[in-house]
Amino acid sequence: MNNIQDYDPSGIAQINGNLLGLPDTYDSANLIIFPVPWEVTVSYRTGTGNGPQRILDGSYQIDLFDLDNPDGWKQGIFLMEISQDILDKNHYYRQQAAKIIQRQAEGKDLKADPDLTIILAEINQAGRDLNKWLFDQCQQTISQGKKVGVIGGDHSSPLGYLQALGSQYSDFGILHIDAHADLRPAYEGFEFSHGSIMFNALEIPQISKLVQVGLRDICIDEVEIIKSSNNRIVAYYDPIIKQQQYAGKTWNDLCEEIVANLPHHVYISFDVDGLDPKLCPHTGTPVPGGLELEQAYGLFRKVVKTGRKIIGFDVCEVGDGEWDGNVGARIVYKLANLLHLTYTDCG
């Protein structure tokens, strides 16, 4: 039962399994957040599979007043239980994927003894199963008039959610914060690699625009994909952003330019390695450079102020560290409040 009317937002957060200790339930909440503790294909270091738990733990330390949406805590936010079944499968398939990654790093054929192509096929099927599970969960929740957010895991986590949104919206764009373009087809042979999420997302025809911000670790083929996309993909490289700022261009002006590329409906995909690594030191693939947190928030505010609607979001690649969870929880709460603003008159 929802006791939000009697809830003291300035009191001590209750460790109740819900984000921020809020008293909401699935039935009472307007925003449902699905944790997806999956990092099977990470190619540098592990830990993001524990990101949902770290975010939940960190959220109990966050005060609820939000400058953008002071009443945002009242909207009804509910975090679904972290699935032990997904955690167990993640652990198993991650161990198997590591064998494939190691074999490739050694320059050896996957068909050598033992034949790892069978394991690769199993991992790809596990990815399909995960996407189908998330698709079904999100579609059911959206059909009830609720909004959805996703907490990864690695950045492959939200694909099923994006597919569900494609069944609900005829046209939407992705505002993508990341150090990486994630446009590699089946990176390392993994059809649903963390490095392939945006390549896979663009297979959804309803996604008319992908605007990427903070890129600074990108391969030659990905640059060519961006150049040949007929402006479906717009990239804002971190070094160029900084050069423009050094020359006197304001971040506000840059935000206006970035957001102008987006359609009316906007999905925000936030890989925390798009930030300066001091904010996400245990993320899977950290890269020097990146955005400050308030820069990212300023960009999201511009989405709201221009009258666009945030239709959903994911926060991925949060590492297995207390500080990472603290920062990740703040991002989730901010995005929840900004999403809420676009559907109410409270702003």
Binding site, residues? Answer: 155, 178, 180, 182, 271, 273
Residue ranges for the known binding site for Mn(2+) are 155, 178, 180, 182, 271, 273
- Give φ, ψ of 293 to 5 degrees: -60, -40
Alpha carbons 206 and 194: distance in angstroms, whole number? 21
Alpha carbons 196 and 183: distance in angstroms, whole number? 5
Structure tokens at 137: 């969960």
CB-facing half-sphere around the CA of 282: CA atoms within 13 A: 19
Alpha carbons 175 and 280: distance in angstroms, whole number? 20
DSSP letters spanning 29-72 = -SEEEEEE---TT-SS---GGGHHHHHHHHHTT-----SS-TTG
* SS3 state at 92: helix
Structure tokens at 342: 């676009």
Neighbours of 239 (CB within 10 A): 10
For the chain, the straight-line distance linking the first and the last C-alpha, in angstroms and rounded, comes to 28
Q: Is the distance from CB of 43 to CB of 37 less than 8 angstroms?
A: no
DSSP letters spanning 145-209 = T-EEEEEESSTTTTHHHHHHHHTT-SSEEEEEE-SS----TTGGG-TT-GGGHHHHHTTSTTEEE
Structure tokens at 239: 């070094």
